Amino acid sequence: MEKYKKIGIKLTPQRLAVLGYLEGNTDHPSAEDIYHELLKKYPSMSFATVYTTLSTLRQKGWLSEITIDQGKKRFDPNMSDHNHLICTTCKKVVDIKIPFNLALPEVAASDFMITGSHIEFFGICPDCRKNNRYYQEETEQCA
């Protein structure tokens, strides 16, 4: 709890539950995912509390928001520099911790002061390939 005090928000039991769920989480959960998981232990928790807590944490720089598809925001508590690999079938997101030194040419920056970058790679994860005959046949043809 001591480490969360520097966030600068009131630490209610519900907010602590959200923070606890996010700590070390690499699944890039949505607000709905977090809500349904925490509801098991905190049956009186509202979705609004989870969503507001996530929004506040994002605004304070404690997590980032990832938009993989239009209907679902996902959240990433890992604020270190990293990129993502996203399955186009099941929407699984995997952290890529290998740095990519990608420099944007000045002409493309349009007088922007670049403060960061994020790369997303898209593909089909091993589980989706294994469970879908189409992907299995395509892989066999490539071999």
> What are the pLDDT digits (tens) for 19-55?
999 999 999 999 999 999 999 999 999 999 999 999 9
Q: For 44, how many CA atoms within 13 A lie in the half-sphere containing its CB?
A: 2
Provide, rounded to the nearest whole percent, the portion of the chain with pLDDT above 90: 48
Q: What angle do CA 67, 73, 77 make, to 5 degrees?
A: 90
Whether residues 68 and 100 fall in one domain = no
Domain with residue 103: its CATH number is 3.30.1490.190
When divided into structural domains, the chain yields a total of 2
The residue out of 78, 104, 130 marking a domain boundary is 78
Q: Which residues of the chain are under the pLDDT cut of 70?
A: 1, 133-143
Tell me if residue 69 falls in helix, strand or coil: strand
> Whole-structure pTM over 0.85, yes or no?
no
